[in-house]
Amino acid sequence: MADRKALVAGNWKMNGRRADGIALACAIAERAKEPHACDLLVCPPVTLLVPVGEALAGSGVALGGQDCHPAASGAFTGCISAEMLRDAGCSHAIVGHSERRHTCGESDADVRAKSLAAWRAGLVAIVCVGETRAEREAGIAIAVVSNQIAGSVPDGAGLDNLVIAYEPVWAIGTGLTPTIADITEMHAAIRSLVPSGTRILYGGSVNPKNAAEILALPEVDGALVGGASLKAEDFWAIAQACP
């Protein structure tokens, strides 16, 4: 993966009570004492940010939020701002995850506003993009993702504030993954649209069995991991698969 250090990020989604989250974070922190070639990040649900952050303290494993509101504060019931994430100890925020684009109707403009909010708070924005199954079958996957990048990534992106996660919608939580050729082609297309050296992660059913092949691709700079990030041994096996 060239000279970019890999990032393996766990998206816990809406999973975990206090005891589970703390136990998982402690197990990851323990494993992170062993040598590893990548940066590590976990993105727990909001209720677990503080206890997970405490469990990870000193481990080198970073903490991230799964979403943020464009505004810094205000009358937005149920939302969380990038400043609140920062206050809770986060260094990163995922924005534009397909589960928000497709189930909450978030547009590229929404994702762009959230990216700017993350930057305003001093967070790295992990901007998620990816095509649906129908879009891939129609041969427009690269066009769709290119449009998402153009609409979602604000001017001012650089290596210290942006990570892209390519996550085909049809690969998330399904056990399906694109071919190695398709991942390579898409990552190369994305790379032509973002600042040189930007980390581009692959996400969608990454697991301990397929991680080594995907993470070995020169265009892939790490993984955004959903289901497999909920088991410390699986998350760690994926991290260990980074070349």
Window 155 to 174, contacts with ligand PEP (CB under 6 A): 167, 172-173
- Of the candidates 67, 69, 63, the one whose C-alpha atom is nearest the C-alpha of residue 43 is 63
Q: What residue number has its CB nearest to ligand PEP?
A: 226
Interaction between residue 224 and ligand PEP (CB under 6 A): yes
- Binder among 206, 214, 238, 241 for ligand PEP (CB under 6 A): 206
At residue 53, the 3 state secondary structure works out as helix
What radius of gyration, in Å, describes the C-alpha atoms of the chain?
16
CB-nearer residue toward ligand PEP: 16 or 227? 227
Nearer to ligand PEP, 32 or 230 (CB): 230
Query: Quick check: is 69 catalytic?
Result: no
For the question of residue 102 being annotated catalytic, the response is: no
Distance between CA 52 and CA 85 in Å, rounded? 13
CA 194 to mean position of chain CA atoms: 16
Distance in Å, CB of 111 to ligand PEP, minimum: 14
The single residue listed with the structure tokens 């041994």 is 233
Asked if residue 183 binds ligand PEP (CB under 6 A), the reply is: no
Residue 167 Cβ vs ligand PEP, minimum distance, rounded to whole Å: 5
Residue 141 engages ligand PEP in binding (rule: CB under 6 A): no
Considering the complex, what minimum distance in angstroms separates the CB of residue 155 from ligand PEP? 26
Of 65 and 203, nearer to ligand PEP (C-beta) is 203
Among the listed residues 32, 36, 28, 42, the one whose alpha carbon sits nearest the alpha carbon of residue 5? 36
Are 164 and 149 in contact, with CB atoms under 8 Å apart? yes
Residue from 226, 234, 236, 240 that binds ligand PEP (CB under 6 A)?
Answer: 226
Q: Using the rule CB under 6 A, which residue among 81, 115, 152, 205 binds ligand PEP?
A: 205
Report how far apart, in Å, the C-alpha atoms of 146 and of each of 67, 97, 103, 176, 191 are. Answer: 21, 16, 21, 22, 10
Question: Packing angle between helix 232-240 and helix 18-31, nearest 10 degrees?
Answer: 30
CB burial of 7-18 (b: ≥16 within 10 Å; e: otherwise) equals bbbbbbbebbee
Is 214 a binding residue for ligand PEP by CB under 6 A? The answer is no
Q: Which two tokens stand for residue 106?
A: 């978030």
From the list 132-140, 152-160, 201-209, 233-241, the region that binds ligand PEP by CB under 6 A is 201-209
| 55 in Cβ contact with 25 (< 8 Å) | yes
Which member of 97, 99, 106, 187 is catalytic?
Answer: 97
Residue from 32, 85, 153, 225 binding ligand PEP (CB under 6 A)? 225
Establish if 204 lies at the interface with ligand PEP (CB under 6 A). yes
Task: Say if CB 168 and CB 205 are below 8 A apart.
Answer: no
Catalytic residue ranges: 97, 167
Contacts with ligand PEP, residue ranges (CB under 6 A): 11, 167, 172-173, 203-206, 224-228
